[in-house]
Chains A and B, each alone.
Chain A
Amino acid sequence: MPKREQRLVPEGILLVRNNIRTKGNIFGVSSKAKWAKGLGLSSRGETLFFAGCGYQFLEGAEATLSAVRALDRKGLSWEKTLGVTKFLNRVGINLGDLYGRLTSYSHPFGEPLRCSVEVLQKTGMEFGYLSEEEPCCAGPLYYAGFHREFATRAAVTYQTFKERGVKRIIGIVPSCTYTLRELFPRFLKEWNIEVRNFMEVVLESIKGGMRFRLPQRVRVTYHDPCILSRYLCLTVEPIEIFRCVEGVELVEVEHTKGEWSTCCGGGGGFEVIFPEVSHILAINRVKELLKTGASVIVTACPGCLIQLREGLNGLKAKGVEVMDIAQLLQRALPE
């Protein structure tokens, strides 16, 4: 094997790494719990809701990504603009925060998160949320190749959970769920916290008698996020859930579903290294999904959500929307 060469790590990846190291989240913003205002979530509990990084910054991330793509399309080195961001950070101006404040007027923060909490509350389950104290799972460090840094952070994260007496975690972001469930035990021998994905919890409640019903009939197709389908092997669960939601007419994509699903183009940090190509892959995936004739594309991952929305915009497809499974389920909650 040739000698290591850290300078070969792409800049987009280094930015994410820097954000995790300095701000404890992938986007480099200072506050990450605003979305939970007014939900009355306890900050303690043996069972924790793990919000992760993706969803609450969805709007910001979407806007940033499309700006970056515009630069990338023109062949401009968009990584350079990151230098500006770093400079502003040093003088105390945080663009992520600023953007967050601006968008909070027009968009409700982290809608999929609020929806998933509402759904979980309806199941009768008790759980807490660590709010601003929630550690970053730091999975992207692992994907970027910085395993030692990942391991160090994982140990600290485990301490945080242990001190608070956490026994179970419900993950909503696929990548965080996978990181906590599969990667943490690989790096921490003592790890003994049970990690489940939101969908597994919902399906269990459905089997226990919980009912969902949409106000009107909707043709739904499902996009399997790679981490859920191929890494966590959750391919049957979403389909079973859809079958139990009254009003959902499930139209599945041909061949490219379950373990054969096509990546949205946002996997493994690809979107921060190759923004324009990533957008083209998103368009390709949306084309496959649109062949089903569905009016709603449902997925269960913040990364896929952004990619598919952008893909849909790129195709200028009308009359179709992309939503998270939590949003769909919230709309189908019993009164």
Chain B
Amino acid sequence: MSTFKAYKKRLREAARDPKISLALSRAIGSYRHNVNEALEKFPQTQRLADEVKQIKEESISHMEILVEQACETIRQNKGEAFVAKTPHEALDIIDEIVGTGKLIVKGKSLTGEEIDLREHLQEQGNEVYETDLGEYIIQLLGIKPMHLLAPAIHVPKEDVAKLLSQVTGEEVPPDIKTEVAKVREILRDKFFRADVGMSGANVVAADTGTLFQIENEGNIRLCSTAPPVYIALIGMEKVVSTLEEAFKVAEVTWRYAGYSVPSYVNLVSSPSKTGDIEKTTTYGAHGPKEMYVIFLDAGRSKLAKDPLFREALYCLRCGACLYECPLFAATAGNFGDKYFGGIGAIWTAFVTGDLTKAAPLTYSCLTCGRCKVRCPVGIDAPQMCLELRRHIAEGE
């Protein structure tokens, strides 16, 4: 079956699935409520979003220099830093650090998803646990995430209960509180036994080498502190010049993700250290002794130089646009290939370099333009989809 046909079939089946549309309509309803409340409570967000747009324009225009600077700072902070040109290079670097037979706890990461990180680590003979609740469910189900922030957005509590009962061998009732407590119990011990912790980052400050991670569950915090080794895989586009800018980007990201305030914002700049004995800096106090940061290029530096498409790199991955997309409301992450929605079509084209995958997505965009109205940095995904169509139909 051709890629297009297979995609069409997948889309049709998803659109027919009442579970998806029910889960999504609930999610969209609560998102709109939450985001309106958050924006009302923090009316400065709109102004901040305008500033963030400028910050992104500026940082993407010299992305490679900023990434170099961030690497340098992280090294000065006694971490290791790398730039991986391709997914293959990134995986090689990770293999070198991790090796085989290790227990790994992972925070949810789209960049990890982009290079099939979990699958790769498992193939290398490691035991890998996704620790974001939704992502853990996805891993157990052996399926693909359906939303950036809520990967199991389409799975009802009854299905979760069944799944957890299978895993634990005991009867777990379809009660959300019990389910959450059960997952906590299962994963708790993994965090502390793990050899390696991994995660992504929402934004990185080049001047201080600080990685920002926005989260609610506390799992990323554990991944980046409990194990002796910590690895972060981050898209190059996440780097901005200063700590001050990074705070602005972070606040706008969580606000448009629908949160007034997230439970945690982790700021990680170096391995754990102490100078408490004779003022001698020693690494690996309570947190990890080793910290590795890998910046992934995979098409990003090319994208940054493309005047028509570079805007795609401004994306904060707040996920707000997806709640506004009528096609996403009916089919969830099936309208996408790792990256979702209209903006996902552009990302797919550049990071996979495979138009066979990107074409069905770009021709699926309704070009209705509501995502652009919602986007904090005003990304015109429909216009980029039209440009991508031109590229497919006519070439450069």
Residues of A within 8 A of B (CB): 1-6, 8-10, 13, 72, 75, 142-148, 226, 230-231, 255, 259-263, 265, 267-270, 273-274, 276-277, 280-281, 284-285
Contacts and interface: CB of A to CB of B under 8 A. Distances in A.
Contact of A284 (B329, B356, B359): B329
Contact of A8 (B15, B355, B370, B382): B355
B58 to A, nearest CB: 24
B382 to A, nearest CB: 7
A4 B394 contact: yes
B21 interface: yes
A285 B326 contact: yes
Contacts of A261: 370
Contacts of A280: 15-16, 330
B264 interface: no
A143 B355 contact: no
Contacts of B391: 1, 4, 145
A288 to B, nearest CB: 10
Given A1-B302, A1-B350, A143-B386, A268 B368 contact: yes
Contact of B396 (A4, A10, A143): A4
B294 interface: no
A243 to B, nearest CB: 24
Contacts, number: 137
Contacts of B370: 226, 230, 259-263
Given A1-B349, A147-B390, A270 B15 contact: no
A145 B368 contact: no
A231 B32 CA distance: 23
Contacts of B360: 8, 10
Contact of B392 (A4, A72, A148): A4
| 3 nearest CB pairs, A to B | A145-B389, A145-B393, A4-B395
Interface size class of B (residues with CB under 8 A): 35 or more
A4 B366 CA distance: 22
A284 B355 contact: no
Nearest to B327: A281
Contacts of A269: 363
B393 A2 contact: no
Interface string B359-379: 110011111111011000000
A145 B350 contact: no
Nearest to B29: A255
B354 interface: yes
Given A3-B395, A145-B391, A226-B369, 15 more contacts: A1-B396, A4-B391, A4-B395, A5-B355, A6-B392, A8-B4, A9-B389, A143-B367, A145-B390, A145-B393, A226-B370, A231-B369, A270-B365, A274-B11, A281-B15
A284 B326 contact: yes
Contacts of A10: 4, 360, 363
26 contacts: A2-B349, A2-B354, A2-B358, A4-B396, A5-B355, A5-B356, A8-B4, A9-B392, A142-B386, A143-B367, A145-B388, A145-B394, A147-B390, A230-B372, A268-B363, A268-B367, A268-B368, A268-B386, A274-B12, A277-B330, A280-B16, A280-B330, A281-B15, A281-B366, A284-B330, A285-B326
Given A145-B386, A265-B326, A280-B330, A273 B364 contact: yes
Contact of A281 (B32, B326, B382, B390): B326
A6 to B, nearest CB: 6
Residue of B331, B373, B389, B394 with highest tally of chain A CB at under 10 A: B389
A5 B302 CA distance: 19
Contacts of B390: 145-147
A147 B363 CA distance: 15
A279 to B, nearest CB: 9
A268 B394 contact: no
Contacts of A265: 326, 366
